[in-house]
Amino acid sequence: MSAMDLIKSMMVAASGLKAQSGRMRIIAENIANADSTSRVPGGDPYRRKVVTFEDKLNREIGAHTVSLGRPVMDNTEFKLKYMPGHPGADENGYVKMPNVNGMVEAMDMREAQRSYEANLNLIQASRRMISQTIEILRK
């Protein structure tokens, strides 16, 4: 494996770091808005965002990298909760609740963190190999 291959692997892993970081931001936004309802009677609450990724060919390094795509709105149904005094309640006293499931978001966050750590470990291993190669060449 050449130093160029190691640098290429670091750049691919760095794109993964950036994408997973963006994924964690969107998941955090979903969690933060898990209770965000409409203030207008019968209005829609916060709608969960789903992360998408894009595979891109980086011609500069000659490798495929990943980037965060545009988030897509999750079109699952809102749950209704009986809250007659709420400003967002409809004429029957029901409020539409966000379609955010805390368990799903927690699992998505865990997966994003593990992927982030895997990419970080790859970068650290590549840096060590480059440093060791330089040390060998100096002798």
**Average pLDDT of span 126-134:** 88
Residue, of 2 and 126, whose pLDDT is higher: 126
Pairwise CA distance, residues 5 & 11, whole Å? 10
Q: What is the pLDDT of residues 5-61, one digit of tens each?
A: 888 999 999 999 999 999 999 999 999 999 999 999 989 999 999 999 999 999 988
- For the entire predicted model, the pTM comes to 0.87
Q: Are the C-beta atoms of residues 53 and 65 closer than 8 Å to each other? A: no
At residue 102, does pLDDT exceed 80? Answer: yes
The per-residue pLDDT for 134 is 86
Residue, of 4 and 33, whose pLDDT is higher: 33
Token pair for 126? 């590549």
